[in-house]
Amino acid sequence: MLITATIAVMLAASVQGAGQVGGFSFAHITDTHCSGAANEAALKRWVASLPNLSPRLTFVVNTGDIAELGTPAEFARYRAAIAGAAAPIQSVPGNHDVRWAPLGKEGFTQGVGPAYRSFDQGGCHFVLLDSTIVLEHWGHFDGAQLAWLEGDLKKLKRGTPVFVFFHHWVGRDNSNIDNGGDLLRILAPHNVAAIFMGHGHKDWHWTTAGIDCFMALGLYQGSWHRIDVSTETAKVVLVKEAGEQTVAEIRLRKPARLALRLTWDDPEASNLARRRFIAVVTGADGKAVTEGLRGEFSIDGGAPQPGQVDAGAKRPRGLTGEFETETLQPGSHALGVTVTMPDGALASAGIPFVYEPTDARPNLAWAFKTADTIQGSPTLVEERLLCPSFDGKLYCLKAATGAKAWALATGGALFSSAAVADDRVYVGSMDHKLYAADLKSGSMLWATDIGSPLFATPAVCSGVVCIGADKAVVGLDAASGKQLWRVAAGSFFQSRAATDGAAFYLGGWDNTLYAIEAATGAVRWKARMGRTKTGAISTYYSPAIASPTCGGGRVYAVTNDGLLHCLDAATGAEAWAVRAPKGGDGFGYSSPLLHEGRLYLGGLGDAGRGDCYCLDAATGDRVWRCSTGADNYDSSPAAVGPWIAIGSVQHRLTWIDARTGKACGTYAVGAGYSFTTPCGSADLTFTAGMSGIVTALRTPTAPTL
C-beta separation of 641 from 657 below 8 A: no
540: Cα within 13 Å, side-chain hemisphere:
9
Instruction: Tell me what pLDDT residue 7 has.
Output: 29
Task: List average pLDDT for each run of 10 residues in the chain, which is 705 residues long.
Answer: 30 43 94 92 96 96 96 96 96 97 96 97 97 97 95 96 97 88 91 97 92 95 97 97 95 78 88 90 77 88 88 71 91 89 76 88 96 97 97 98 98 98 98 98 98 98 97 98 98 98 98 98 98 95 98 97 97 97 91 97 83 97 94 95 95 96 94 95 97 96 68
Q: Domain 259-355 has what CATH class?
A: mainly beta
Handedness of CA 374, 379, 385, 391 (dihedral sign): negative
374: Cα within 13 Å, side-chain hemisphere:
31
160: Cα within 13 Å, side-chain hemisphere:
25
Q: What 3-state DSSP class applies to 196?
A: strand
Instruction: Tell me what pLDDT residue 703 has.
Output: 66
Q: What angle do CA 461, 465, 471 make, to 5 degrees?
A: 125
Instruction: Tell me what pLDDT residue 6 has.
Output: 30
461-497: b (≥16 Cβ within 10 Å) or e: beebbbbbbbbbbbbbebeebeebbebebebbbbbbb
Q: In what order do the strands lie in the sheet with 611-616?
A: 593-595, 598-602, 611-616, 622-627
Question: How are beta strands 59-62 and 318-324 bridged, if at all?
Answer: unpaired
Q: Which helix (H) or strand (E) holds 335?
A: strand 331-340
Which residues lie across from 615 on neighbouring strands? 599, 622
Q: Domain 2-9+21-251 has what CATH class?
A: alpha beta
**CA 357, CA 271: separation in Å to the nearest integer?**
5
CA-nearest of 371, 359, 376 to 142 is 371
Which residues lie across from 275 on neighbouring strands? 323
Instruction: Tell me what pLDDT residue 312 has.
Output: 65
The radius of gyration of the chain's CA atoms, rounded to the nearest angstrom, is: 26
Q: What is the pTM of this model?
A: 0.93
Domain-wise residue ranges, the chain? 2-9+21-251, 259-355
C-beta separation of 234 from 247 below 8 A: no
C-beta separation of 90 from 3 below 8 A: yes
CA-nearest of 619, 613, 614 to 575 is 619
Q: Which amino acid is at 648?
A: S
Q: What angle do CA 269, 272, 278 make, to 5 degrees?
A: 75
CA-nearest of 567, 566, 559, 556 to 586 is 559
Instruction: Tell me what pLDDT residue 19 has.
Output: 57
Question: How are beta strands 59-62 and 24-29 bridged, if at all?
Answer: parallel
Q: What is the dihedral of CA 50, 53, 58, 62, to 10 degrees?
A: -50
- Judge whether 2-9+21-251 and 259-355 match in fold: no
Q: What 3-state DSSP class applies to 2?
A: helix
C-beta separation of 276 from 266 below 8 A: yes
Instruction: Tell me what pLDDT residue 578 has.
Output: 97
Q: What angle do CA 232, 234, 235 make, to 5 degrees?
A: 125
Instruction: Tell me what pLDDT residue 452 has.
Output: 97
